[in-house]
Amino acid sequence: MNANVTQPNSSPSDSHIVVVHRVGPNWNCLFASLNDQGTPLVEDTIAIEGDQALENLLRTKSPAQIFVILPGSDTVCRTTTLPDVENDQVIEALRLQAEAKLLGGTPSHRRAMAPLDSAVGETNRVGLIVAWPESSDLSFPSCLKDAHVIPDAVSIAALLNNLRPTEPLIYADLANGTVTIALSHVNGAALRATRENSTNKERFFEGIVRTANETALLHNHTPSFTEAMNSRLLVALSSTVEEENMLLVPEIIVRGAVDRVMQCSNTDTSWWNAWGIALGGLLAVTGSLQPLTTMQQNAIELHPSALEKLTQRLENRTFATRLLVAAILVLALGPAILSGIRLSVLSILHPDIEERYDETVLERKQHIVYKELAKSVWPMTKLIADITNNVPIGIDIESLQIDVGEPISIRGRAINAEGKTAAEVIAFLQEQLQETGMYKDIEFSYNPAGTYGDREFDLWATVSDSLRRPIYIPEKDFGQWTLAMQQAGTPLNTVAANSAQDETGQEQGRQSDSTLTPAISDLESSGNSEPPAYIGDRPERERTERTRASARDSGAKSRTEARDSGSPKTRVSDPLSPELIKTMSRDETNIALKDVTEGLKRIGRTDPDTKKRLRAEMRLLLDRLKEVPE
């Protein structure tokens, strides 16, 4: 075997494994291979000085696997007691212990764990957990960046094997303050790696003794055993004053290691100080402690996916904390920033956005009014027009009763017409009303036929959709082809031509009316605080004349009008304060809005103060409808 060779001259060999250990200024390289039985065989030991010489040596030898010894001063070493059960259960229990002891603070490529071999008579197992913190400032040459790392505590554990000597197994290196110790106890063996003060040898030796004492006391050794161990340890240290690093190994450990390695029979103390830890690393790589030799300085990434990269980054506590803070800031400030950007863009593209917003608010208020009115008010004129349009020739309507929420009632007289008997004409009326989709549950009854076949009848129908607008063909649309035109024999084609001409004239009229739009817009944006003129704001005279004309044309009177004709007018609703309106529910607001709307219908110009109050209350009620959820 060669030692202290600065420039290797050996040619490439069949070496497969090399264990590199830094001892003082030198790199000690132990080359070995495995025979057919899996027994390690030491091929060469070479000590060189300098990183460049180490790189040249590794390039010359070209080993298949490179392992480097990690000093105990940069290592976290923990041992734990495990039950003596199946190997799978032991490994699972050890994994849980590792998570509890290391708390996930070390990445997976910088930590390792494995159970030690149990000695004869032991009823439990000892688990060894080692880690290389990222906070360590230790770095290796570029030629060792891909090498696997073996902590010196793992080398000592491999030398210890299943033996339990009474003397401690200690490795100390004055260069970096490393002190690694293995001590037997009643439950197995304890391993510890630490850093001691190495400014001078006296303090360093005191630190070694103190570490040995603490380890013995932590594992329930007696004071007499501790004192005897200290005495022997002081004698052993005094004999190695000139050594920078030392390996205090019992004789039984030396014989056990020599028996397990081929071509290694050297038991000299100086040789074990230089090559003992590297030899222990070789035993760990080729033995049962191989899981403890898988650590690396950098994680291996062949072709990681984006998800794998993100997962690895999130394992970093600093990055995860920054990402969490950024997410909170985005969630808190993001909507406000986006809204501000959108508002700025809209302000640039639409300078009159405030006026448009006011118009939109006004339209929404109107829609609310119309929606509420649609629930409680029917378009009577439309209903009468639809009924009239569906009355076939041969029927004279005597009375038509319509009341909101009640079935309509039609009373009339039917005669034989267009080849149909009076009864068929009544049935045809029922069919016509059914096809509009506005009515349901249509029923009728008629009296016996008179002298000329005429019959008096009554018809009832429930209004299902008062706002539906049926599409009538020209032959059935009395608005285009009236009864007078049909009786006079006016052709339908002539009526269609006249209708097209009328539509053209109406379109021109609409275009001319569009010139009034700016004036209307100016009126709406003039700052008037009163609400728009809804139903009930027309003059009393116009409403009275329209009611009288409708009564003359239809000759009908609703049941409500008949019931209320002799009663006084409904009183105006009591004043509503803004505070009271703010406490109303949605149903209470709808009822109050209906009362105010009906009050506006019945207030004319004689009481402008009440009318102004009702308008203000309508505005507040509309605002309340927007606030209360449906």
DSSP structure string for 26-95: EEEEEEEEE-TTS-EEEEEEEEEESHHHHHHHHHHH--SEEEEEEPGGG-EEEEEEEES--HHHHHHHHH
Assign 504 a pLDDT band (cuts: 50, 70, 90): low
| Overall average pLDDT of the 376-402 stretch | 88
Q: Residue 502: what pLDDT?
A: 59
Please check the confidence at residue 605 and state whether its pLDDT lies above 90: no
- Report the range of poorest mean pLDDT among 308-317, 391-400, 488-497, 585-594: 488-497
Instruction: Indicate whether 94 belongs to any domain.
Output: yes
> φ, ψ for residue 154 (rounded to 5)?
-70, -40
Q: What is the pLDDT of residues 314-353, one digit of tens each?
A: 888 888 888 889 999 999 999 999 999 988 888 888 888 7
Assign 505 a pLDDT band (cuts: 50, 70, 90): low
Instruction: Indicate whether 357 belongs to any domain.
Output: no
Q: Residue 208: what pLDDT?
A: 92
Of 268, 290, 266, give the one whose Cα is nearest residue 17. Answer: 290
Q: Residue 196: what pLDDT?
A: 92
Q: Residue 2: what pLDDT?
A: 41
Task: Centre a 10 Å sphere on the Cβ of residue 508 and count the other Cβ atoms it contains.
Answer: 10
Q: What is the pLDDT of residues 217-255, one digit of tens each?
A: 998 899 999 999 999 998 888 887 677 789 999 999 999
Q: Residue 103: what pLDDT?
A: 59
Please check the confidence at residue 28 and state whether its pLDDT lies above 90: yes
Q: What is the pLDDT of residues 33-47, one digit of tens each?
A: 998 888 899 999 999
Distance CA 567, CA 560 (A): 11
Please check the confidence at residue 509 and state whether its pLDDT lies above 90: no
Q: What is the pLDDT of residues 392-422, one digit of tens each?
A: 888 989 999 998 888 999 999 888 888 889 8
Distance CA 13, CA 288 (A): 27
Q: Residue 535: what pLDDT?
A: 37
- For Cα atoms 427, 431, 437, give the angle at the middle one, nearest 5 degrees: 150
- Beta-carbon contacts of 148 under 8 Å, excluding residues fewer than 6 positions away, are 65, 66, 67, 68, 293, 294, 295, 296
Instruction: Indicate whether 154 belongs to any domain.
Output: yes
Please check the confidence at residue 514 and state whether its pLDDT lies above 50: no
- Report the range of poorest mean pLDDT among 300-309, 447-456, 532-541, 574-583: 532-541
Distance CA 117, CA 99 (A): 22
Instruction: Indicate whether 523 belongs to any domain.
Output: no
Strands (E), 143-210: 148-151, 169-173, 178-185, 188-195
- Report the range of poorest mean pLDDT among 143-157, 275-289, 481-495, 603-617: 481-495
Please check the confidence at residue 447 and state whether its pLDDT lies above 60: yes
Please check the confidence at residue 542 and state whether its pLDDT lies above 70: no
Instruction: Indicate whether 152 belongs to any domain.
Output: yes
Domain limits at 207?
69-296
Q: Residue 408: what pLDDT?
A: 93
The tokens for 237 are 């240290």
Please check the confidence at residue 377 and state whether its pLDDT lies above 50: yes
Q: Residue 545: what pLDDT?
A: 42
Instruction: Indicate whether 438 belongs to any domain.
Output: no
- For Cα atoms 339, 343, 349, give the angle at the middle one, nearest 5 degrees: 145
Q: Residue 543: what pLDDT?
A: 41
Task: Centre a 10 Å sphere on the Cβ of residue 234 and count the other Cβ atoms it contains.
Answer: 14
Q: Residue 17: what pLDDT?
A: 93
Q: Which of 110 and 302 is assigned the larger pLDDT?
A: 110
Q: Residue 563: what pLDDT?
A: 37
Q: How many Cα atoms sit within 13 Å of 161 on the Cβ side?
A: 21
Distance CA 119, CA 166 (A): 13
Instruction: Indicate whether 46 belongs to any domain.
Output: no
Q: Quote the mean pLDDT of the chain.
A: 81
> What percent of the chain is predicted at pLDDT more than 70?
83
Instruction: Tell if the pTM clears 0.85, that is, is over it.
Output: no
- Is the separation of the CB atoms in 32 and 43 below 8 Å? yes
| Overall average pLDDT of the 434-463 stretch | 89
Task: Centre a 10 Å sphere on the Cβ of residue 34 and count the other Cβ atoms it contains.
Answer: 14
- Report the range of poorest mean pLDDT among 97-106, 260-269, 508-517: 508-517
The tokens for 120 are 């004869």
Q: Residue 15: what pLDDT?
A: 52
* Buried b / exposed e along 181-209 (16+ C-beta atoms within 10 A): bbbbeeebbbbbbbebebeeeeebbebbb
Distance CA 201, CA 178 (A): 13
> φ, ψ for residue 296 (rounded to 5)?
-135, 155
Task: Centre a 10 Å sphere on the Cβ of residue 483 and count the other Cβ atoms it contains.
Answer: 10
Please check the confidence at residue 490 and state whether its pLDDT lies above 60: yes
> φ, ψ for residue 194 (rounded to 5)?
-150, 175
484-490: long-range contacts (C-beta < 8 A, 24 or more apart)? Answer: 486/393
Going by DSSP bridges, is the β-strand pair 26-34/40-49 parallel, antiparallel, or unpaired? Answer: antiparallel
Q: What total of structural domains would you count in the chain?
A: 1
Q: What are the residues facing 21 on neighbouring strands?
A: 28
Written as one string, the DSSP assignment of 438-481 is: SEEEEEEEEPPP-TTS-EEEEEEEEES-TT------GGG-TTTS
The tokens for 138 are 């230790």
Distance CA 167, CA 128 (A): 20
- Report the range of poorest mean pLDDT among 75-89, 264-278, 438-452, 470-484: 470-484
Q: What are the residues facing 178 on neighbouring strands?
A: 173, 195
Assign 83 a pLDDT band (cuts: 50, 70, 90): confident
Assign 6 a pLDDT band (cuts: 50, 70, 90): very low
* Chain length of the chain: 630
- Beta-carbon contacts of 516 under 8 Å, excluding residues fewer than 6 positions away, are none
- Report the range of poorest mean pLDDT among 253-262, 344-353, 584-593: 584-593
Assign 460 a pLDDT band (cuts: 50, 70, 90): very high
Q: Which of 335 and 547 is assigned the larger pLDDT?
A: 335
Instruction: Indicate whether 608 belongs to any domain.
Output: no
Q: What is the pLDDT of residues 285-299, one digit of tens each?
A: 999 999 999 999 887
The tokens for 586 are 């949605």
The tokens for 554 are 């239809």
Q: Residue 115: what pLDDT?
A: 92
Distance CA 132, CA 295 (A): 8
Q: Determine the 3-state secondary structure of 492 from DSSP.
A: helix
Of 131, 132, 119, 126, give the one whose Cα is nearest residue 93. Answer: 126
| Overall average pLDDT of the 79-96 stretch | 86
Task: Centre a 10 Å sphere on the Cβ of residue 286 and count the other Cβ atoms it contains.
Answer: 21
Please check the confidence at residue 215 and state whether its pLDDT lies above 70: yes
Written as one string, the DSSP assignment of 78-122 is: EEEEEES--HHHHHHHHHHHHHHHHTT-S-GGGEEEEEPPPPTT-
Q: Which of 286 and 525 is assigned the larger pLDDT?
A: 286
